[in-house]
Amino acid sequence: MFYVFADKVIHVLDPESLKILKNITVDHLGAPLENAGGDTIKWYEGVYMEDDKLGVRYVFISEGDTYEKHDG
């Protein structure tokens, strides 16, 4: 599968048929893929990793928007 990080959505694509299998429009908490101002989240470059012993592959892509934490 391919993951395409786009404007407020992540598309999951089948590489053979090039069809969209799923659209992800919210994060793991159910919040939309947008920043606090309603703008598209910026995505940083992805990192691909493999674990040959476990036969597992990982892709990590971090959110490019940064936020300041204010205490008190």
Please report, in tens digits, the pLDDT of each residue of the chain (72 residues total): 888 888 888 899 998 998 999 999 998 889 888 877 778 777 777 788 899 999 998 887 777 666 565 565
For residue 49, is it within any domain? Answer: yes
Q: Which domain covers residue 44, as residue numbers?
A: 2-27+38-60
- Integer Rg of the chain from CA: 15
Query: What does the alpha-carbon distance between residue 68 and residue 70 come to, in Å, rounded to a whole number?
Result: 6
DSSP state of 57: E
- Model's pTM, two decimal places? 0.62
Domain count, the chain: 1
For residue 66, is it within any domain? Answer: no
For residue 18, is it within any domain? Answer: yes
The 10 Å CB-count burial string (b at 16+, else e) for 32-71 is ebbeeeeeeeeeeeeeeeeeeeeeeeeeeeeeeeeeeeee
